[in-house]
């Protein structure tokens, strides 16, 4: 498997993919060794995971540079990602005793009723490339804290980062047989689906997620999916500072080249502030530095996957064929690297691909609306349900709209953010189950109810 730098198109290295025999061997090792890990006191596991987090900090520059080399995101965004992962680990380690320890429900002289949170066993984590530290940490850290063994399959586009994660977890004290890595692409993933895991935790596209859900259904083990989005954002007419709103929401759409599951993918703007918003939005987009992701100050780096360039070109063509206006960008950049110009389309309609299909790139469609009712209707018009955002001076107005949107997350005057203390979950085609928060810790456990009568 060749690992390619998307900014230079050079081969960084070649790795040996796993095969059926090597995966089976790893699974057997996990099944044997994870039992001892589960028996350890939770405080011991917490200590190991805290050590892992410290190692992330110590080796941050090296890790950021490896990440940037294989996914093309600007170096500063790679550093931000590692910092973000550490913040999540901190929340998880600070809260796991509260949520993973036995819980007493009834406590009388005659009867005690308690709940224990037992590990699932050995879980399989098939992961995405866009934030390998963040989406990885959402799964393998709570899984390990809860006492599970983990087979971690990083995306084929983030294999080097996967190997760094494995190295640092082991250096921190996770036993060899408790965390194993499965290297490879779709074929490796398919083989994992044939194997005997006690739970599947997937982050990736709707199409793959749906396939995995069907493939593992007969096993009757937990299967959790964190999938894509087509996240809408509405700017109402009462916002105080339209320039700040335009700058903040442009960042929400284009950070990491738009390759975020919760990137703003569609924008609806009230007609009264539309012209000012567009002017400020464009100014912001035009102020960004594009270039090699290793250059400091670059905000728009390379896309990770070459195939996405055609997806974006196709969305632009579809929009222009149906009467949209191209205000900015619209094409790939010449020369080496998978680079696409930050693209802004207006006069779009909701049936266009750019307003319906996940773009996962530096492109946005902006639409003028006449009132909240029209905005709400358009925002809700999607197969996805990850996040939705409303910018207004009035919290009640935002709540009124967000309550009508079938999404796992609602944002008022913010967007494109994830926080460790609240569940991260998608509705409709955006997924099943939740990571982060108490739910995300307990997702890696099975409960036992204890009825203890004297």
DSSP conformational letter for 333: P
Query: 146: which 2 tokens?
Result: 């809860």
Instruction: State which of residues 71, 92, 100, 135 lies at the interface with ligand NAD (CB under 6 A).
Output: 135
Q: How far is the CB of 420 from ligand NAD (least distance, A)?
A: 13
3-state secondary structure 182-232: CCCCHHHHHHHHHCCCCCEEEECCHHHHHHHHHHHHHHCCCEEEECCCCEE
Q: According to the binding rule CB under 6 A, does residue 189 interact with ligand NAD? A: yes
Q: According to the binding rule CB under 6 A, does residue 382 interact with ligand NAD? A: no
Q: In angstroms, rounded to a whole number, what is the distance separating the alpha carbons of residues 261 and 386?
A: 8
Q: Residue 132, Cα to own-chain centre: how many angstroms? A: 8
Q: According to the binding rule CB under 6 A, does residue 128 interact with ligand NAD? A: yes
How many binding residues for ligand NAD (CB under 6 A)? Answer: 31
Q: According to the binding rule CB under 6 A, does residue 75 interact with ligand NAD? A: no
CB nearer ligand NAD, residue 68 or residue 203: 203
Q: According to the binding rule CB under 6 A, does residue 26 interact with ligand NAD? A: no
Q: How far is the CB of 127 from ligand NAD (least distance, A)?
A: 6
Place of tokens 């498997």: 1
**Strand (E) or helix (H) holding 269:** strand 264-270
Dihedral pair phi/psi, residue 122, rounded to 5°: -115, 120
Given a contact cutoff of 8 angstroms between Cβ atoms, the answer to whether 87 and 137 are in contact is no
Q: According to the binding rule CB under 6 A, does residue 255 interact with ligand NAD? A: no
Q: Which of residues 385-404 bind ligand NAD (CB under 6 A)?
A: 386
Q: Give how far Cα 94 sits from Cα of 37, 53, 276, 417, Å.
A: 19, 13, 45, 21
Which of 1, 8, 3 lies closest to 293 in space, CA to CA? Answer: 8
Q: According to the binding rule CB under 6 A, does residue 194 interact with ligand NAD? A: no
CB nearer ligand NAD, residue 147 or residue 228: 228
CB nearer ligand NAD, residue 248 or residue 433: 433
Stretch that binds ligand NAD, among 47-55, 84-92, 170-178, 221-229 (CB under 6 A): 221-229
Q: Between 89 and 108, how does the x/- string for binding to ligand NAD read (CB under 6 A)? A: --------------------
Instruction: State which of residues 162, 361, 431, 440 lies at the interface with ligand NAD (CB under 6 A).
Output: 431
Which of 329, 348, 328 lies closest to 340 in space, CA to CA? Answer: 329
DSSP conformational letter for 6: T
Q: In angstroms, rounded to a whole number, what is the distance separating the alpha carbons of residues 403 and 380?
A: 11
DSSP conformational letter for 8: T
Q: According to the binding rule CB under 6 A, does residue 208 interact with ligand NAD? A: yes
CB nearer ligand NAD, residue 18 or residue 358: 358
Q: In angstroms, rounded to a whole number, what is the distance separating the alpha carbons of residues 246 and 339?
A: 24
Q: Which of residues 144-183 bind ligand NAD (CB under 6 A)?
A: 153, 155-156
CB nearer ligand NAD, residue 66 or residue 261: 261
Q: In angstroms, rounded to a whole number, what is the distance separating the alpha carbons of residues 227 and 360?
A: 12
Q: How far is the CB of 94 from ligand NAD (least distance, A)?
A: 22
Catalytic residue check, 226? yes
Q: Return the number of other C-beta atoms located less than 10 Å from residue 428's C-beta.
A: 17
Q: How far is the CB of 128 from ligand NAD (least distance, A)?
A: 3
Dihedral pair phi/psi, residue 193, rounded to 5°: -70, -25
Q: Is residue 387 classed as helix, strand or coil in its secondary structure?
A: strand
DSSP 238-282: T-S-HHHHHHHHHHHHHGGGG--TTSEEEEEEETTTHHHHHHHHH
CB nearer ligand NAD, residue 277 or residue 424: 424
Candidate list 70, 156, 164, 226, residue with the active-site label? 226
Q: According to the binding rule CB under 6 A, does residue 227 interact with ligand NAD? A: yes
Q: Which residue has the closest beta carbon to ligand NAD? A: 189
CB nearer ligand NAD, residue 139 or residue 269: 139
Residues identified as active-site = 226
Q: Which residues bind ligand NAD (CB under 6 A)?
A: 126-130, 135, 153, 155-156, 185-186, 189-190, 193, 203-205, 208, 211-212, 226-229, 261, 358, 360, 386, 424, 426, 431
């Amino acid at each position: 498997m060749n690992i390619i730098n998307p900014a230079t198109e050079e081969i960084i290295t070649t790795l040996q993919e796993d095969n059926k025999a090597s995966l089976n061997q790893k699974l057997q090792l996990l099944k044997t060794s994870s039992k001892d890990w589960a028996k350890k006191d939770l405080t011991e596991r917490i200590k190991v995971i805290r050590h892992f987090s410290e190692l992330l900090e110590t080796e941050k520059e090296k890790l950021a540079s490896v990440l940037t080399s294989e996914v093309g995101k600007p170096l500063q965004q790679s550093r931000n990602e590692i910092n973000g992962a550490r913040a999540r680990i901190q929340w998880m380690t600070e809260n796991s005793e509260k949520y993973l320890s036995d819980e007493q429900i009834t406590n009388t002289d005659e009867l005690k009723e308690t709940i224990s949170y037992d590990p699932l066993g050995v879980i399989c984590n098939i992961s995405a490339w866009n934030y390998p530290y963040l989406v990885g940490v959402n799964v393998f850290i709570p899984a390990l804290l809860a006492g599970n063994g983990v087979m971690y399959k990083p995306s084929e586009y983030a294999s080097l980062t996967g190997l760094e994660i494995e190295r640092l977890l082991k250096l921190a004290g996770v036993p060899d047989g408790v965390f194993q890595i499965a290297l490879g692409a779709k074929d490796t993933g398919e083989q994992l689906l044939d194997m005997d895991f006690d739970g599947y935790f997937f982050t990736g596209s709707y199409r793959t997620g749906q396939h995995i859900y069907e493939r593992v259904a007969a096993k009757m083990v937990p299967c959790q999916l964190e999938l894509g989005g087509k996240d809408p954002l509405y700017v109402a007419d009462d916002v105080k500072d339209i320039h700040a709103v335009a700058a903040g929401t442009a960042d929400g759409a284009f950070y990491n080249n738009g390759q975020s599951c919760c990137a703003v993918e569609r924008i609806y703007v009230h007609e009264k502030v539309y012209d000012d918003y567009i002017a400020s939005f464009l100014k912001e987009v035009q102020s960004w530095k594009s270039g090699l992701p290793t250059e400091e100050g670059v905000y728009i780096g390379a896309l990770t996957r070459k195939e996405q360039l055609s997806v974006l070109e196709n969305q632009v063509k579809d929009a222009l064929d149906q009467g949209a206006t191209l205000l900015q960008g619209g094409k790939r950049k010449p020369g080496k690297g998978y680079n696409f110009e930050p693209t802004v389309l207006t006069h779009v309609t909701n049936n266009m691909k750019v307003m319906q299909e996940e773009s996962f790139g530096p492109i946005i469609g902006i639409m003028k609306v006449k009132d909240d009712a029209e905005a709400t209707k358009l925002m809700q018009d999607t197969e996805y349900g990850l996040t939705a955002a409303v910018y207004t001076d009035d919290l009640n107005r935002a709540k009124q709209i967000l309550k009508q949107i079938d999404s796992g997350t609602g944002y008022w005057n913010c967007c494109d953010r994830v926080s460790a203390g609240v569940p991260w979950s998608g509705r409709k085609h955006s997924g099943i189950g939740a990571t982060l928060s108490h739910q995300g810790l307990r997702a890696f456990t099975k409960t036992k109810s204890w009825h203890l009568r004297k």
